[in-house]
Amino acid sequence: MIGAGQWQGRRIAGWTGLLILLAGFSAALAAEEGPEQVIAHISDRLLQVVTQEGERLQSDPGLVYQLADDILVPHVDFSRVSSLVLGKHWQRATPHQQQAFSHQFKRLLVRTYSSAFNEFKHWEIRFLPSRQGATDDDVSVRTQLLLPRLDPVEVLYRMHRKEGRWLAYDVKIDGISLVTNYRSSFNRELRHVGMDGLIKKIEALNDKRSGNQIASRN
């Protein structure tokens, strides 16, 4: 079954953290600051937006999706995420299949986790010592997301510098990796329906959610 069934409760809280930390209002920041500084600055900006637009976010699902799309997509390397999620199947896919999968997977993530905007109205971030990757252009930013009435949520962001900008390509919430979680799910689908079948299934799920969004607004 496509989706992230085990990513509920604290997982949604952690994904709130992903949206918080990757929300970008100035692309220049990513080029001028290190990943931790970018995270801290953007978290403060998004907290302000959520506070000001809280009522609209609650009543307008379309605005929630648009906000998630606007602030998440520019700060995630979806090409790398897609290649890691598909593993060996990425290299076997045609360029057209790679592009189609990346597009539909992006839609899936945005629509699945955009609801996190409505989950919490206040948070704090505690930074832990980061881990350097194999090169200076790769780093794991370790944090704890502090939310009211919940235990701290461990969130680790894997980021790399691409064309002067720090982009995320994986997130671990309480030790569970987004890439690993979806890779397992998609591998099962690929064995049964192949690459084109997987893309069609994700597209159908995305379109169904879009239809539900329109119906809820009418």
Could you give the percent of the chain with pLDDT greater than 70?
70
- Give the residue from 142, 22, 11, 130 showing the smallest Cα distance to 81: 22
pTM of the complete model beyond 0.85: no
The domains of the chain are located at: 10-217
Q: What are 114-142's pLDDT values in tens digits?
A: 666 666 667 788 889 888 877 889 999 89
| 193-213 pLDDT, tens digit each | 999 999 999 999 999 877 665
pLDDT value at residue 120: 64
Architecture of the CATH domain 10-217: Roll (3.10)
- Cα distances (Å, whole numbers) of residue 51 to 45, 117, 118: 10, 11, 11
pLDDT exceeds 90 at position 81: yes
pLDDT in tens, 18-46: 555 544 334 444 445 678 876 776 677 66
Q: Are 183 and 198 in contact (CB under 8 A)?
A: no
